[in-house]
Amino acid sequence: MIIVLKPNSSDADIESVSNLVQTLRYQPRVIRGVERTVVACIGDELSNRSLEVLGNLPAVEAVMPVQQRYKLVSREYSAHNTAIKVNGTVIGGKKIAIIAGPCAVESATQFRTVVGDLKALGINLIRAMAFKPRTSPYDFQGLKADAVAIMRDVKSEFGVSLVTEILGPSQVEMVHEVSDVLQIGARNAQNYDLLESVAQARKPVLLKRGMASTVEEWLTAAEYLLVNGCTDVILCERGLRSFDRSVRNLLDLGGVAVAKHETHLPILVDPSHAAGKRSLVMPLAKAALGAGADGLIIEAHPTPDEAFSDAAQQLPSSEFGAVMTELAPWIALAESERGE
Ligand code: PEP
Ligand code: MN
C-alpha cells in the first residue's frame, strides 16, 4: 500500500502515520517529495490487515493498494495459458471452444433433438440446464430431477459432455455423475458459499461474470474456486446490466481483453444472454472472437419460438450448421493468432 499524505504534513503527522502502519504489521518507508510525502508500506497485502483505516487520519489524503486481491488466477502465478480438458475437448488451447445447447432441458425429445443436431456438427460440449435461476418464481424453473434423468439417457446415446448450472450446494450431488462442467451463473457470481461447495466437487467450473461485477470482483470470485481446490476454472463474460435497453446486457469485450491480460484462465463469451435476441447473437459472437475470447457458449433449441425460457435469443439447432459456417473464417483467424 502507498499512503499519500496531505500537503504540508508535519513531522508529527508522518510519525503518527508510520506508527499506525507498524501497528498493522507493515514496515513504513517515508519518501519525502518536493510537494508531498508518501509512506510506502512493505508487507503482503493479501495476508496482512488492510491499511484502509489509515484514510481516517487527518493527515492522510489517499491510501492506494499496489497488490491485486487475487493471486492464483493471475499471470504472475502462472505464466502459461491454462488449457482445460473436458473429455478430450480442450478449452483455452489452440482451438476455439464451442459450447452450445438450449437455455434449459425441457423434454426428452427437445434435448435429444438439439444434441443430435449439434453432435452432427462436431460439437461435444452441450448446455444441459436442469435448474433455472428465474427472476420471477412463476416462470419455468427447470425440470430438475427429471432433467437429470433425460441428460443421463441423452449423454449415453451421443457421448457428449454436459455443462450444468448449479444454484445451490445440494444440486452438486444430483448432477455430479452426469455433468462434466458445473456452471455458476451471473446471479450467483459472488455467492462465496456456493463457490466453495462447487470447488469441492473437483470438476471444471464455468464461472460467469456477475451482471454488475467489476473485472476485479469476477477474478477474485475465480480465486475462491482455485483457493478451494478447483484447478479447472473457465471464465465467461455474458454482458452487464446497463442503462441502455436496446440490448439485453451490455457485452463488455474491453473487460474480456483486460481479463485476458490479467489471468491465465480461459475466457469464454456468451453472446446469447448479452444479445437477448436472435439477430444480435452472430455479430456479438464474431466481436468476441476478435477480442481474444477462447470460445463461445451459444443457446440453440429445436423450436426456439416455443422455448420455455429465453425464446427470443435461442438459435434454431437445425440451422446451427449455417452458424458454424458463418463463424468459420472468424474462428480460423482467431486460431491463427493463438500461440501454443
Ligand atoms: C444460463 O447460462 O443459463 C444463464 C442463466 O445465464 P446467466 O447466468 O449469464 O444469466
Ligand atoms: Mn438462457
For residues 257 and 306, state if they share a domain. Answer: yes
**For the domain that residue 143 is a member of, what is the CATH number?**
3.20.20.70
Q: Which of 261, 283, 293 is nearest to 95 (CA)?
A: 293
Same domain flag for 42 and 124: no
Q: Are residues 146 and 33 in the same domain?
A: no
Percent of the chain at pLDDT > 70 equals 99
**Ligand that lies nearest to the alpha carbon of residue 131, given by its number in the listed order:** 1
Residues with Cβ within 8 Å of 274's Cβ and at least 6 positions away in sequence, in order, are 237, 238, 239, 247, 248, 249, 250, 251, 280, 284
**Does 75 map to a domain?**
no
Nearest to 128 by CA among 179, 91, 186, 185: 179
pLDDT, tens only, 252-273: 999 999 999 999 999 999 999 9
- Cβ(248) to ligand 1 under 6 A? no
Question: Is position 110 within any domain?
Answer: yes
CB-ligand 1 contact for 240 (6 Å cutoff): no
159 with 21, same domain: the answer is: no
Domain containing residue 10: CATH number: 3.30.70.1140
Residue 273 CA, closest ligand 1 atom number: 9
Give the pLDDT score at 252. Answer: 98
- Contacts with 65 (C-beta within 8 Å, 6 or more apart), sequence order: 1, 45
Q: Is residue 77 part of a domain?
A: no
pLDDT for position 2? 92
Write the pLDDT tens digit of every residue in 225-236.
999 999 999 999
User: What is the rounded distance in angstroms from the CA atom of residue 82 to the CA atom of residue 94?
Assistant: 11
Mean pLDDT in residue range 294-312: 98
Q: Residue 59 is part of which domain span?
A: 2-64
Say which amino acid occupies 138: Y
* Number of compact structural domains in the chain: 2
The more confident residue out of 65 and 124 is 124
Phi, psi of 101 (to 5 degrees): 150, 175
Q: Same domain, yes or no, for 21 and 51?
A: yes
Is any atom of ligand 1 closer than 6 Å to the C-beta of 298?
no
Residue 46: predicted pLDDT: 81
20 within some domain = yes
pLDDT number for residue 49: 80
Ligand 1 near 203 CB (within 6 A): no
147 and 290 together in one domain: yes
> Tens digit of pLDDT for each residue in 132-175?
999 999 999 999 999 999 999 999 999 999 999 999 999 999 99
Quick check: CB of 237 below 6 Å from ligand 1? no
Is residue 105 within 8 Å of residue 111, measured between CB atoms? Answer: yes
Which residue's C-alpha comes closest to atom 3 of ligand 1? 103
CA distance 161 to 86: 7
Question: 27 and 91 share a domain?
Answer: no
Is 72 domain-assigned? no
Does 8 share its domain with 134?
Answer: no
pLDDT at 84: 98
90 and 57 inside one domain: no
Nearest to 256 by CA among 246, 243, 244, 269: 269
pTM: 0.93
Asked if residue 185 belongs to a domain, the reply is yes
- Residue 231 CA neighbour count, 13 Å, CB half: 8
Same domain, 90 and 201: yes
